[in-house]
Amino acid sequence: MKRQKIKRKKKKEKIHHAARIKVIEIFGESKEKKPYDYFLNLIKNLDKKRFEIIVIVPPGPLFTKLRKLKQIEVEAVSMVKYWDFHAVSKIKKIIKKINEGGRLKTIVHCHGDKSGVLGRLACISFWRRAPYVIYTEAQIASAKIWTTLILWFLDLFTDLNIAMSKKVVEFFIRKRVTRPEKLLMSSKEKETKQLDILYTQI
């Protein structure tokens, strides 16, 4: 008898893709100006293979340009005032939806003073599965006592502050807005590389 050749089906190798870190980037302006260009370039250059990027910005030119980029999700939220609690509520819902489930910690990164207030207020009530909150500031618009008090209060819900100039670092330390160990100095030229490393270490 001839031995029958048994064809063995090759088992398909399962490809396990490493889970990407969810990063929510919040920016409070959408008009044509310098911070607008800086933020757009930052989003373009972040490593999309390692990070799942979700951007929250107001409707406008920046929102339109971000929608054209591949591998990112963009949410439009109007941010009219610093104490726009309607915006806080919307941002909170987006964060909650993205933050649910998943093995890795979600990162919320607020850029600038307006999103620094609204974005961090939206993160306050996350006690059990709180996201890792980063606040980046390029300049301090006001040195009034109420500004310092607001920054001090919001720092209670902030894991890391990134200062884009020596003046911001000096202000944060002089006014005791945050502790030195929670403060990192950066620049527009270095920030993208620093964030690629920083995000993976959280």
The pLDDT tens digits of the residues spanning 77-89 come to 999 888 899 999 9
76 contacts 63 by C-beta, under 8 angstroms:
yes
- Name, of 47-56, 123-132, 186-195, the range with top average pLDDT: 47-56
Strands (E), 20-150: 21-27, 51-57, 72-76, 107-111, 132-137
Q: Is 88 exposed, middle or buried (0-12, 13-18, 19+ CB in 10 A)?
A: buried
192 contacts 43 by C-beta, under 8 angstroms:
no
Separation between Cα atoms, residue 99 and residue 139, nearest integer Å: 30
pLDDT at residue 110 in the model: 97
Q: Which fold has domain 21-201?
A: Rossmann fold (3.40.50)
Residue 195 has pLDDT above 80, yes or no: yes
Q: Using a pLDDT cut of 90, give the percent of the chain over it.
A: 67
The pLDDT tens digits of the residues spanning 24-57 come to 999 998 876 666 788 999 999 999 999 999 999 9
pLDDT at residue 130 in the model: 83
